[in-house]
A and B are shown apart, each in its own frame.
Chain A
């Protein structure tokens, strides 16, 4: 139904991380058009175990790190590079610990050691990467618009392969070489199941978003990589909504101000409705196949968990409603506006947020979504202003006059 594998274990940033593993591991270069692709996978198990596995043998550590002080220093350093995990109370195991791919050698695949076989070498095996990233990878590489595809390739090359590697890259490369990796590129049997493209607007939305994010030359690479990962997560939520049968599509009502109770309740309702519609969609799509209740729960879990990770809802648990966190606003703005261009704020709200993403914020969107019968229009006008304040505060909105607010990234005069 969604054309890709969406599962709660792989929620949040994992699809983005998987995507980057594909981008950097492909044996035929960045985003190959040849369908059959093999990838080289790296486990980064040494560095991950150094941070989170107390059973890592001292002799293995000594092969890589000169002394105890070096060991402690590198451990502390690596801890800062871990992917932030929501909703965990215990210390994560090393196989759950992933590094955020700030630089190319920090990108890695899932790896683990079989239970009870601590002496064994780590193996590369899908655990949190379940195929959503492979799906995004295929959407990008099977782009019928060759000009856009080649621009995305070029910008990804520039992003991950700069003229001069950073000190972090040198360090990460050394650490990665001490872990397990594929000596020969291997075929991935999950990726090849999501190669069929529907050629619809939803795929175009993702490609355009990625194109725009990568086009912002003035932004630091870290911001672009974070936004690429976040946009991948946000887009998968949009896929989850808009690839349901049309009668089950949900308008996500965002509460940007947090002051109006009616809006808050409407937002809570729309979130519940979305999760319910996902369940109904799955049930109608199952047909004769057998999927357990737990299986359906896992698919539902993907959306709730990803919404929380992408900062599109207030919290993972408790009374939840749609709202924007800074990382969500940043990813959406970068994906909406190409470099060196301005987009009127109204256009951003109506044509991008609502028409493309189905996010209801302003009055016009609320009117189109038929919400003004139940809620007062001024609530959405105020909501719109609150979002404008937030976008303005992160420096992505330029207010020229009472009537003109333009969404833009950086200095539009910087060419």
Chain B
């Protein structure tokens, strides 16, 4: 006879959650072999390749959670062919920088490794001493893990140190040249550039998608316990697994890729998501923080369905379930806060809403995730969201009841829109529009490889219009120049402004993030782009002053949207105040680099450019 079961895989996912009492799995040092998810990231490939190519010192830097310690353990396994358990032991016992690690069986083939797995464990002075004790001529290879802030503090605490000045030089240059190394002896792998949602030709699966596939796609793990579980038809965890699994569901692959795109958008809004956070987010989206025991209790307590909807992955991504405190969720998995800001449930698109609510034929009936319980006064209803919201309507007799009814409708409509966001067959631009990014498709186009020809002219035209509008310049004709108003008029003015500088459109380039670095085939293998799973997080607008002198304006998705919205004629000053301030400051800075003669003053007024002459102390505008 079927009974309630505990799935060890669900418990394992729960151990990745920061608000779970058994959250040890999120730290490499405490992981168990059976629970480990080993992802072959590009950083790991780069690390192994650098070691094999004769590197002497490798610095792994990045925020806590990017996987520095994990990379050390994987390096021990891959380089010395240690078993996982052995590598773990070494990680705890010998990765303090004092010990040279060697596999005696391979002593003639492999150079020893000296690993310091956490520079934060040392005070700055000790860390500096350690750094200077290394040499690029040592017989062993040194690997150091340090978060970026600690690394900078250590480097700047040493004066005239050979190694520290070399690290400092490579580190600073890496932002300008896009290279992790200058001589292939010293490498700095900056994991802050690592993307969890980015996919490339040589790494077609993103970190997020690998984790998702591994955790929801493994049928053995799910079937073993869940098949005979009494809660299976009513279990939101199993439902999430079903909805996201390629094997179990036709739409599983689409939904997984939508999740990936969603996280990519978050990264393109300037948020750095660590690998640990990505795993926590996936665990949260699959389980909703519930264990098998919780599901059992809920099933026993409530004979009817409806409670599950808040634990379905598409609702979890954008709203908090009642069983997890807000602080716990937001502080534990900060990316959820960023996801919540993108909620497609809050944006109405007429044709989508018509289909979901009026026609009510978008989804099959009686699906667990679309069941809701609505109680208005004493009237308790069980609603199938696939039928739309008409069944919720009742006759509220008080303000309280009206509010409950309104809240219930909002809840159901939001859920339907979220589900449609994951299920609908729409293009990427359509998806971005559902999240509120009207010009997101242009942003993606610029980042793509086929950005050339007419598109360049067209998008540059939009951008110039936007930059003009941000300065308060509304031109009557489409300009071929970027007019920069005198910074004194930097705030949008509808009246008039003096033009301080004009830049021809052909001196302005729109570049994806990676194209700002001149990387050739010789250096490509130790470039930042090759060192980690990469995503272009922003575009760069390059204003060329001469062949080798230029100014770069960085625009992430939000700032780009701000400029293009301005191009359409109106911009919300309050909402975009920070972006506008930054862009205006930048334009003011480059406006000062005026090369024009003094004999002419250009005035912008009522959509056209006039000239001011000062003759005999009399002012004439023509």
Would you call A220 and B578 a contact (CB within 8 A)?
no
Question: Which stretch in B197-205, B287-295, B489-497, B520-528 binds the other chain?
Answer: B489-497
Q: Name which residue of chain A comes closest to B175, CB basis.
A: A413
Question: By the criterion of a CB under 8 Å from any partner CB, how many residues of chain A are at the interface?
Answer: 49
CB contact under 8 A between A102 and B487, given known A76-B496, A77-B603, A220-B589: yes
Q: Decide yes or no whether B581 CB sits under 8 A from chain A.
A: yes
B56 at the interface (CB under 8 A from A): no
Find out whether the CB atom of A326 lies under 8 angstroms from the CB atom of B172: no
B487→A73 contact, CB < 8 A: no
Cα distance, A402 to B274, chains bound together (Å): 11
Q: Is A65's CB under 8 angstroms from B486's CB?
A: no
Residues of B within 8 A of A223 (CB): 487, 585, 588
Residues 575-594 (chain B) with a chain A CB within 8 angstroms: 577-579, 581-582, 585, 588-589, 591-592, 594
A165-207 Cβ-contact flags toward B at 8 Å (1 or 0): 1111011001101100000000000000000000000000000
B583-622 at interface with A (beta carbon < 8 Å):
585, 588-589, 591-592, 594, 598, 600-603, 605, 610, 612, 614, 617-621
B148 contacts the other chain (CB 8 A):
yes
Distance to closest chain A CB from B153 (angstroms): 8
Q: Is B230 an interface residue (CB 8 A)?
A: no
Q: Quick check: is A66 within 8 A (CB to CB) of the other chain?
A: yes
Asked if A395 CB lies within 8 Å of chain B CBs, one says yes
- Taking CB atoms, residues of chain B closer than 8 Å to A401 are 62-64, 147-150
* Nearest-CB residue, chain A, relative to B578: A393
B-chain residues with CB within 8 Å of residue A220 when the two chains form the complex? 487, 585, 588-589, 591-592
Specify which chain B residues have a CB less than 8 angstroms from the CB of A76 in the assembled complex: 495-496, 605
> Of A65, A80, A219, A395, which one neighbours B618 at CB under 8 angstroms?
A65
Residues of B within 8 A of A178 (CB): 617
Residues of chain A lying within 8 A (CB to CB) of residue B150: 401, 403-404
Residue contact A395 to B582, C-beta cutoff 8 Å: yes
Q: A402 to B66, alpha carbons, bound, how many Å?
A: 11
Q: Which of A65, A73, A177 contacts B605 (CB 8 A)?
A: A73
Q: Judge whether A280 is part of the interface by a CB distance below 8 angstroms.
A: no
CB distance from B149 to the nearest CB of A (A): 2
**Are A171's CB and B614's CB within 8 A?**
yes
| Distance of A73 Cα from B327 Cα, bound (Å) | 56
CB contacts (< 8 Å) of A166 on chain B: these are 486, 498, 500, 594
Please state if A394 and B581 are interface contacts (CB–CB under 8 Å): yes
With A and B bound together, what is the CA distance between A395 and B592 in angstroms?
20
Residues A222 and B149 in contact in the complex (CB < 8 Å), given A170-B598, A174-B619, A402-B64: no
Kindly list chain B residues whose C-beta atoms are within 8 Å of the C-beta of A73. 496, 603, 605, 610, 612, 621
Are A219 and B497 in contact, with the CB atoms below 8 A?
no
- Which residue of B490, B617, B619 is within 8 Å of A70 (Cβ)? B619
Q: What's the interface size class on B, roughly?
A: 35 or more
Please name all residues of chain B whose beta carbon is closer than 8 Å to the beta carbon of A63 when the two chains form the complex.
618
A103 close to chain B: CB less than 8 A: yes
B1 contacts partner chain A, Cβ-Cβ < 8 Å: no
- Report how far A218 CA is from B152 CA in the complex, Å: 23
CB distance from A332 to the nearest CB of B (A): 15
Q: At the interface, yes or no: A79 with Cβ under 8 Å from chain B?
A: yes
Contact B619–A222 (Cβ < 8 Å): no
| Interface assignment of B98: CB less than 8 Å from any CB of chain A | no
Contact A77 B498 (CB under 8 A): yes
A279 at the interface (CB under 8 A from B): no
- The CA of A405 and the CA of B581, in the complex, are separated in Å by 21
Contact A164 B605 (CB under 8 A): no
Task: Let me know if A212 is at the binding interface, CB within 8 A.
Answer: no
Is A120 on the interface with B (CB-CB < 8 A)? no
Among A167, A171, A221, A403, contact of B592 (Cβ-Cβ < 8 Å): A221
A314 at the interface (CB under 8 A from B): no
Give min CB distance, A155 to chain B, whole Å: 16
Instruction: Assess the A326–B578 pair: CB atoms within 8 A.
Output: yes
Which residues from 359 to 391 on chain A have a C-beta closer than 8 Å to any C-beta of chain B? 378, 390
Interface string of A62-103 (1 = CB under 8 A from B): 011111011001101101110000000000000000001011
Query: Is the CB of B476 closer than 8 A to any CB of chain A?
Result: no
Q: Does B488 contact A (CB under 8 A)?
A: yes
Chain A min CB distance to B530 (Å): 23
**Residue in chain B with minimal CB distance to A178:** B617
Are B621 and A74 interface neighbours, CB within 8 A?
yes
Residues of A within 8 Å of B610, CB to CB, are: 73
B488 touches A103 (CB 8 A): yes
For this complex, 25 residue pairs linking A to B, each with C-beta atoms less than 8 Å apart, are: A66-B619, A67-B620, A70-B619, A70-B621, A73-B605, A73-B612, A76-B496, A80-B496, A164-B594, A166-B498, A166-B594, A167-B598, A167-B601, A168-B500, A170-B598, A171-B498, A174-B619, A178-B617, A220-B592, A326-B577, A326-B578, A326-B581, A403-B64, A403-B120, A404-B147
Chain A interface (Cβ < 8 Å from any Cβ of B): 63-67, 69-70, 73-74, 76-77, 79-81, 100, 102-103, 106, 164-168, 170-171, 174-175, 177-178, 218-223, 326, 330, 378, 390, 393-395, 400-404, 406, 413
**Interface pairs A-B: 6 shortest CB-CB:** A404-B149, A393-B578, A102-B488, A401-B147, A66-B620, A220-B588
A sample of 11 more A-B contacts (CB under 8 A), given A67-B620, A77-B603, A175-B619, is A66-B621, A69-B621, A100-B488, A168-B488, A168-B500, A170-B614, A219-B589, A220-B591, A400-B147, A402-B63, A404-B150
